[in-house]
Amino acid sequence: MLQQKLAEKLTILNDRGIGMLTRIYNIKKACGDPKAKPSYLIDKNLESAVKFIVRKFPAIETRNNNQQLAQLQKEKSEILKNLALYYFTFVDVMEFKTVNFDLTKNYLDLVVTYITLMMLLSRIEERKAIIGLYNYAHEMTHGSSDREYPRLGQMIVDYENPLKKMMEEFVPHGKSLQDALVSLQMVYPRRNLSADQWRNAQLLSLISAPSTMLNPAQSDTMPCEYLSLDTMEKWIVFGFILCHAALNTDPAALSLWKLALQSSSCLCLFRDEVFHIHKAAEDLFVNIRGYNKRVNDIRECKESALSHAGSMHRERRKFLRSALKELATVLADQPGLLGPKALFVFMALSFARDEIIWLLRHNLSVCPEDESIIMSSFVNTMTSLSVKQDGDVFDFRGMRLDWFRLQAYTSVSKASLGLADHRELGKMMNTIIFHTKMADSLVEMLVETSDVSIFCFYSRAFEKMFQQCLELPSQSRYSISFPLLCTHFMSCTHELCPEEVSHTDLESVQNAPRGVQILSLCNMFLDEMAKQARNLITDICTEQCTLSDQLLPKHCAKTISQAVNKKSKKQTGKKGEPEREKPGVESMRKNRLLVTNLDKLHTALSELCFSINYVPNMMVWEHTFTPREYLTSHLEIRFTKSIVGMTMYNQATQEIAKPSELLTSVRAYMTVLQSIENYVQIDITRVFNNLMMSLSGKMYRLLQTYSHNSSAYLSYCLLLPLQKLVVDNVEVLTQMRTSFDKPDHMAALFKRLTSVDSVLKRMTIIGVILSFRSLAQEALRDVLSCHIPFLVSSVEDFKDHIPRETDMKVAMNVYELSSAAGLPCEIDPALVVALSSQKSENISPEEEYKIACLLMVFVAVSMPTLASNVMSQYSPAIEGHCNNIHCLAKAINQIAASLFTIHKGSIEDRLKEFLALASSSLLKIGQETDKSTTRNRESVYLLLDMVSESTPPLLKAPYAFYFHLITFIELAAIWRQLF
């Protein structure tokens, strides 16, 4: 009954054996992966306990209070839960072993599965720890060991060397296994033929015998025709290891054994787990007495496999490629042949699969053990790479060193693997090594292939070459190569001579370090390039300024004169002067080959800027150089000097260029500089801003100097003469001061005044000077507001929030601060200081105060005379009067504020008094009938409004009242004339 069910049981056992292999394989992989390994095997707290269990395995002292095992008490429940799958997998292996021995000794597949299973189990290094931990936790939980543990533990111990143990077990069954294996003597040699033998037999060819093409392909041993060669080799190798006695008694067995050993270096155990045939067999037989001959057979077969197996399988693959192609072509054309020739198809598939599997197992067909380890390292390194680098830095130095080692191993005279015999390997590895250098040693490769650090020792020749390159416009675009070559110089140093590398103490080393010389050299190159570019830009700016100058209005006079003269000379018949070329003629070209100087400058500049813009920065001797910054720096300095030069200041004559002409030149310069951004990526706006910063400082100093000098000029040259004029007319002015409400009396007194025009002219000049200084302060305020807006706003807050009752000294300090920031002030501190220094010692303070009051009276009563001046007409185009009398408004307010601050009088009262006298005097114009006297009276009325606009806010209302009063009286007079 047992034999009747043998087929079914073997089928089930074989399938179960593959399943058991799968489970054992996964346990081995999990234990080999730190991420997947059971945590109890890597827990530092349990490390001593695990080692104790493994050392005592399979016996475990659970009853003694062992301190090493105390930690396991806390984890026993979790250990039972998490290690149960592992533990009972080992139990299943034990059960499989027991059934297989009784039923499958004559069935090779089951034998091989059994052998593979036990070998794979022995490769799980953590098997004792897992089983011991689980059993300890089981005993601590249930009070006794697991019932399967004694047998399982003994099996683990017995199968430390599984092949040796199974050799002992299979002794009683050796004859049955031998008979099964020897039955392959007709199948395996026919299956394991060379490519030449296949080719001579025209294997797999359907067209070799056309007459039998339609005959069905068949054989007495059809299943064996497509049986896997790998399967048969595992039967033979593993089977004769277990029944090794047959190798000494049966020549057919020995022949099969040697043929299998010559065909491969390793066999597949399961998936990617392999078995190295020769080393394992030799280790087993070397310890058996009388097996020296078998050990020599193994070594000879190993040499044969290493030297010939690779080429044999390579030729097979070559034959199969053409044979399969022919077979596929014929069957595609005649699919009806697929039925009778199905055996050929499956044979072809089996043969191809065998060769693919063999190639997959052997990375290298002829590879000794040491070389195999290195080759495996190559494969592991390359297969572990991924497209995503994940921030890791590649480092293939170890792989390259291994390739160096492999070359050393394979280049000696007695090397078992000769690299010269495997040129394809050398080609492939050289390609791989090159590409690894591209990933992690690119800088070293560049140094190796392009280093010219020798120039470090020929600095004079190096500098001369640079100058020659810079002088030729066609070569200047390559001038950046010289500072870039300085980056090579670091490679000429060596770690055994650190004094050459040192650059921390630059003054202490004269001959070395070379870093000082190299940095100086690189700096010189970049500086010279920037200077050359700056000079070219300056020349272009000069050309553009010349062209812009031709468009100035002053040059059109000659053109107009020539046109007029030409017309008159035509009438007289005389030959006229040659016409002057008009601006823009230089852009008209009759020939494309015609090149102007400006063209040459632009070409040279574009070439040089290409070089400057080639790299954003460079590292030389651990210093960073930025070529564009050199150009920016030089442009800032040159532009500043050029702006100063454009003013055309003549110290002898104290003359400067016209503002309009200066503006034209500045605009031409700025246009050229803005175009530089098309050549090189520099921030020209920054150049302009830095220029304005430097000019703002100059403007501030100029304004300070001008304020001091103008105030001194006002006090010395203008105000003192005015005071003398007031003294000359003191009696008349005193009477007029109190008679402004008596028109007739005022008219009589006015006729007695002298030097009226002189007073108005001097006051107008004072107003012009103060207005110009106000414009300069406004420009200063705009510049400072752009660069220090927060500071300017703070100063402005100080000025605008001075309480009326503040002490005048404190207020003057605030005004001085505000004036320095360019802010307008109600009281000019510079004017106050200048006027204070001019007090006369012969006049009492009361007398000085009276003169100041009468000066305001003198100006007020003199204003009507301005209406008779032709130049007093108001021009809306310039928003002022033609003779600058609109500047009187500023003069009146500033002089009044300064004088009455000095004399501690009421500024408001004095300005109100001035307003009353001026209004009374201006009202008199409306009663005049002489048109020459009143020709510009409306312009003078507007002057009063300008005075109102220039006054402090508290006085604007009274001014406006009087102005509107005058306007009302004027309208009333016109109304009376009409009706």
The DSSP H or E segment spanning 268 is strand 266-270
Cα 169 to chain centroid, rounded: 70
* pLDDT in the model for residue 977: 44
- The string of DSSP letters for 155-177 reads HHHHTTSHHHHHHHHTSTTHHHH
3 state SS of 581:
coil
Residue found by looking up tokens 């002794």 in the block: 171
* pLDDT in the model for residue 840: 63
Read off the pLDDT of residues 267-315 as tens digits, 9 standing for 90 and up: 888 877 888 899 899 999 998 888 999 999 999 998 888 778 888 999 9
Query: What's 577's DSSP letter?
Result: P
Read off the pLDDT of residues 838-864 as tens digits, 9 standing for 90 and up: 666 677 888 888 888 998 899 988 888
Per the rule left: phi > 0, alpha: psi between -120 and 50, beta: everything else, 80 is alpha
Q: Which two tokens stand for residue 258?
A: 């040697």
Residue found by looking up tokens 């025209």 in the block: 202
Identify the sign of the CA torsion 851, 853, 857, 859. Answer: positive
Of 455, 201, 452, residue with least CA distance to 351: 201
* pLDDT in the model for residue 451: 81
Distance (Å, whole) CA 168 – CA 820: 111
Distance (Å, whole) CA 90 – CA 31: 14
Angle ∠(525,529,535) on CA atoms, nearest 5: 145
Buried b (16+ CB within 10 A) or exposed e, 121-151: bbebebbbbbbbbbbbbbbbeeeebbebbee
According to DSSP, the β-strands at 618-620 and 273-276 are unpaired
* pLDDT in the model for residue 225: 64
Q: What separation in angstroms does the CA of 172 have from each of 169, 178, 245, 400, 497? A: 7, 11, 12, 53, 76
Q: Which two tokens stand for residue 206?
A: 């359907």
- The string of DSSP letters for 364-433 reads SSS--HHHHHHHHHHHHHHHT--S--TTPPP--HHHHHHHHHHHHHHSSTT-SS-GGG-HHHHHHHHHHH
Question: Could you give the residue ranges of the DSSP H alpha helices within 472-555?
Answer: 481-485, 498-501, 514-549
Q: Which two tokens stand for residue 234?
A: 């595992």
* pLDDT in the model for residue 739: 82
* pLDDT in the model for residue 773: 81
Tell me the whole-structure pTM to 2 decimals: 0.45
Angle ∠(842,848,853) on CA atoms, nearest 5: 160
Which ranges of the chain have pLDDT less than 70? Answer: 1-11, 60-68, 96-107, 219-226, 364-369, 389-391, 413-416, 494-495, 498-515, 567-580, 692-718, 838-841, 926-929, 949-979
3 state SS of 598:
helix
